[in-house]
Structure 1
């Protein structure tokens, strides 16, 4: 990686983004285009975004698992299918996938 490329990446901010929910299903639409995902938070660096994503994912998955134990749902086994924060992604602000199609 060239110094110019590294400097350009350092200037790019990052978004912590979450996918939309599939209406009426209680599941996460991981296949939705990135342009339809919601920005949860902005970061100046990728490392801060990744650390926050890991922490939120861990907390959200634990909470979803507790909810599943308290209210078992028929036929649903994977808490990540309904956990929006579990599916968060860090995306550079200049990522071309953020542009509407």
Structure 2
């Protein structure tokens, strides 16, 4: 591997990112179709493994919340948003948007 590539990988961090919430038909839901550049950083991490571990725990917790909240309520949309969170490298070109 090229030494510059190794250095670039060492500088890259990770973000646990969540989609935005939108109002739709009198309720709320996570906007899965929004580009990653419009998603919010929930937490930054130094390593992908750390991000994935936190994300896995978060998804488990929020699935229970999602099952209990009234559909299309704000609580339901927040849980839906967190269940669909993703770990994204800080140097991912999709973060720049158009």
TM-score for the superposition, normalised by structure 1: 0.77
Question: What residue number does 2:45 align with?
Answer: 43
Q: 55, 58, 66: which one pairs with 2:57?
A: 55
RMSD between aligned alpha carbons?
A: 2.3
1:44-83 aligned at under 5 Å gives the runs 44-67=46-69, 71=70, 73=71, 83=80
Aligned pairs, number: 91
1:4-45 Cα shifts (integer Å, max 9, x gaps): 445532321000000001224311111100010000000000
Q: 80, 91, 94: which one pairs with 1:94?
A: 91
Alpha-carbon separation, structure 1, partners of 2:42 and 2:48:
14
**Quick check: which one's strand share is greater?**
2
TM-score for the superposition, normalised by structure 2: 0.79
